[in-house]
Each structure stands twice: as structure tokens, then as C-alpha cells.
Amino acid sequence: MAIRYPNGKRFNGNTRHTNQPSKNKYIKPVLHGGRGMTLEDELNESNEYYLSQGTAVIHKKPTPIQIVKVDYPRRSAAVIKEAYFRRASTTDYNGVYKGKYIDFDAKETKNKTSFPLANFHKHQVEHMRVCEKNGGICFAMIKFVSTDELFLLKASDLFYYWDNQFKGGRKSIKKDIIEKLGYKIDYSLNPLIPYLDAVDKLI
Amino acid sequence: MAIRYPNGKRFNGNTRHTNQPSKNKYIKPVLHGGRGMTLEDELNESNEYYLSQGTAVIHKKPTPIQIVKVDYPRRSAAVIKEAYFRRASTTDYNGVYKGKYIDFDAKETKNKTSFPLANFHKHQVEHMRVCEKNGGICFAMIKFVSTDELFLLKASDLFYYWDNQFKGGRKSIKKDIIEKLGYKIDYSLNPLIPYLDAVDKLI
């Protein structure tokens, strides 16, 4: 059974934020392109590179957690004993590049021919909409995992297809449309995902 | 005993992210200005107001948590059973206003005559430094809780006194200097903390 969390992502027991798998259930981490990294890991590494070069300051926001119970054992750090995943009210990534506010979300799909819009939550799209209105640069990073292809789709294009689904349109964006409207990002070495090259075309 | 967390703040069992106090120890929430709100609550409310007006999109980042153990009870949401507070690598607040990237941290002090620089962590100051270099607008929001006085101090002023402490200078900034260099923000109704008025003077 695939367990879905409020942010629409599966909890991955093997990310660097977690060092012990659950005793009850272990979910095998998803491997991509032979690298053993999720898109999130790849973006974090890319953002660290950009930061190290002074090119941009872009971070993933921490996953929001609702804390219910905390223990304070003697002589050691506080231990959270009961907490729940909360739904994020924004996108996952933001920061500053060339004086511009950058805001985006990254989504993977196993679908080979289209990107299902259900990968986005309404509040994430609305967040990008109001960020754009305030002069931010917003986009989606979409990865087709079966072919390891990555595209940057600017928010205005996403908004068009998002809104269109409520007017009887498709509930997904066909891959050939993403290939046409989006910017293909080829994996590189430093950074792994040179997505700011595509952002340069938006600003 | 005051328990300090990686972000330098006390865990407050009564914030809206937590609905049950710890069984082991209950820390009474700190009240300010008779409002029963922490500076964080006041800023969240102000940011919600700004968002509702379309003026700016500024959010507090979630507290970073290191998750160790998650249970998956049948038919209910995943329960985090063991987790720890992590130190944030950035400031707490960021977003976009008038096309500008905004980044700041908010600090309260009980000190009546000066603001101890130990309220900041080195990595927070370094984060603001690199954001400024990339064209972001960075500052500190400093509250003297004994008098309910609030000041916006621009990052470059903070950097000066921060660096100076390592050259034999004071480990705090005198309140009269903050009064002189900073922008005093008077509490208002909508928003509660109209800090973007002061930001207008920075941009």
C-alpha cells in the first residue's frame, strides 16, 4: 500500500532526515537514473552547489510537522514522541537569484505520456499565483522518471492547464505539450540539475 | 530549567502547532503585551493579513524536524513516534514583496538596555549575508518585551555589530543604537505589525 502524506509525497525512510526505518513498515526508497537519489535529493545537491558558488540562495522548506507530545529526558535533547505530517501551505522551494524571488515545486511522475495535474494541490497553485502577482518567478520542475527527463514549466503555463481542467479540459498535461512549452534540463555534473539556466530564460 | 532548542527558542507547548502539552513537563507560554501572543504569532497574523490583501507573500518556515521513527496505524494517518528538533540552516521568514526577495528573523529579548547578539546563530547571519549579496532584502525584527517595543534593524547594521564582537567589540547592541539605526514599528490593527512600512524605507 502506498501511503500518501499531506504534501502528496510518500514518506521515504531512507532520506538523510531519517536514520532509522519504521519498525512497523519499511518503504523501499525509489531509485532514479541509477543514482539512488530522489528528485528532492538531486535538487538539494544542486542548490548546495549554487550556494557554494554564491550564484543563488534556494532552499527546500522543512516538512511541516504538527507536534503533539514532547519528552524531556534528563541530560539529553528533547524527544518528540507524537507528531503528525501537516499539509504545506506553500510550495517546497524558494529563495533568491539575481535579486529575484524564486518559488517552485518539484514533481515526479511515472506516467510516460502525460503529467497528471493531481500531482499539485490547489493551495500550491494558488500560492504560485499570488507570488507571481507580487513579482516572483514561479515554475514547476517536472520529472518523467521512466526516461529520466526533466522539464521546467513556467507557472503561467501550469495555471492555464490547471484552470482548464475545471472547464472540462484534461486532468493532465500531455508530455508533448510540456516538451513544447517547457525548458528541458539535462543532467550535468556541477550542478547536477542546472535549472537556473532555464530560469535565466524566464527573467 | 529553561530548555533551549537548536533554533535558540524554547518549545512552547501552547502554540497552534501543538495541541497537547507534554506529559513530562509543561512550559508555561510566555505572554507579551497582554495579548497572549508571541512575536511569532504576531508576525504570522500580520503576514496573513498582508497575504489576504495581496500586498506580500511572506511565510514562516516550518521548524526542521529530524524524523527517526514513524508508525502506520491501520486506517489512520502516519504517526511520528520519535523525532528531534534540528537547527535551521536559514532564517525563519522569507517571501516576496514588490518583486523583492524578503528574508528576516525575529528575536525577542527580556534585556532592557541592549540586544544580546547571542540571540543570533552564526549560520543565520551568514545566510542573510549571502542573500543580500544576491539582491535580497534582509533584516532583523527585534522586540524588547519589557516595553513591547519593536524595531526593524537592517542586515548591514547587524553585520557590523556581529563582526565587531569578534574584534573585541561588545557582544550586544545597545538599545539606544538600535533606536538610532533601526526603524521603530508601532503595533497597529491591520496588520498588527506593519513592518512592510519600514521595509519600504530599505528598498
Whole-angstrom distance between the N-terminal and C-terminal Cα of chain B?
A: 42
CB-based burial label for A122 (10 Å; 0-12, 13-18, 19+): exposed
List all residues 6 or more positions away from B164 whose beta carbon is below 8 Å from its beta carbon. B170
Does residue B132 register a pLDDT over 80? yes
Which residues in chain A have Cβ-Cβ distances shorter than 8 Å to B82?
A: 20, 79-81
Q: What is the pLDDT of residues A18-62, one digit of tens each?
A: 334 444 444 544 444 445 789 999 999 999 999 999 999 999 999
CATH class of B39-63+89-202: alpha beta
In this structure, the number of other CB atoms found within 10 A of the CB of residue B120 comes to 18
State the average pLDDT over residues B147-152: 97
**B25: chain A residues, CB-CB within 8 Å:** 72
- Calculate the average pLDDT of chain A: 87
Taking a contact as any Cβ pair under 8 Å apart, which residues of chain B between 139 and 168 contact chain A?
none
Q: Which residues pair with A116 in a beta bridge?
A: A172
- What was the pLDDT predicted at B35? 57
Give the pLDDT confidence score for residue B19 in this predicted structure: 38
Q: Does B123 touch chain A (CB under 8 A)?
A: no
Q: What's the whole-number mean pLDDT along residues B45-64? A: 97
pLDDT at A119 over 70: yes
A24 or B71, higher pLDDT? B71
Coil vs helix vs strand at B161: helix
CATH of A39-61+89-200, one of 2.60.40.2310, 3.40.50.300, 3.40.1350.10, 3.40.50.150: 3.40.1350.10
Size of interface A-B (CB pairs under 8 A): 177
Say yes or no: B53 contacts chain A, CB-CB below 8 A.
Answer: no
Comparing B31 with A196, the larger pLDDT belongs to A196
Backbone angles phi, psi at B33, to 5 degrees: 55, 25
A175 touches chain B (CB under 8 A): no
Lowest mean pLDDT among A9-23, A93-107, B47-61, B112-126: A9-23
What's the rounded Cα separation, in Å, for the pair A56 and B133? 9
Q: What are the chain B neighbours of A61 within 8 Å (beta carbons)?
A: 61-62
Which among A82, A130, A135 is the nearest to B99, CB-wise? A135
Question: Mind listing the pLDDT tens digit for each residue in B32-44?
Answer: 444 578 999 999 9
Any binding-site annotation on B197?
no
pLDDT band at A172 (very low <50, low <70, confident <90, very high): very high
Mean pLDDT taken over chain B:
87
Rounded to an integer, the average pLDDT of A119-136 is: 97
A24-58 as b/e: b if 16+ CB within 10 A:
eeebebeebeeeebbbbbbbbbbbebbbeeeebbb
Using a pLDDT cut of 90, give the percent of chain A over it. Answer: 77
Grid-cell match 511520528, residue found: B80
A11, A54, A81 ranked by CB distance to B81: nearest: A81
Statement: residue B166 has pLDDT above 60: yes
Q: Which of A67, A81, A102 sits opposite B82 (nearest CB)?
A: A81
Across the interface, whether the CB atoms of A54 and B95 are under 8 A apart is answered no
What are the structural domain ranges in chain A? 39-61+89-200
CA pair distance A123, B198, nearest whole angstrom? 29
- What one-letter code names the amino acid at A91? T
Check B80 against A77: CB less than 8 A apart.
Answer: no
Shortest Cα distance, chain B CAs vs residue A198, angstroms: 18
Edge-to-edge strands, sheet with B79-85:
A65-71, A79-85, B79-85, B65-71
For residue B70, list chain A residues with Cβ-Cβ distance below 8 A.
11, 13, 18, 22, 24
* CA B169 distance to own-chain centroid: 25
Q: Where are the beta strands (DSSP E) in chain A?
A: 56-60, 65-71, 79-85, 93-97, 100-109, 114-116, 137-144, 149-154, 172-174, 183-185
B90 carries a ligand binding annotation: yes
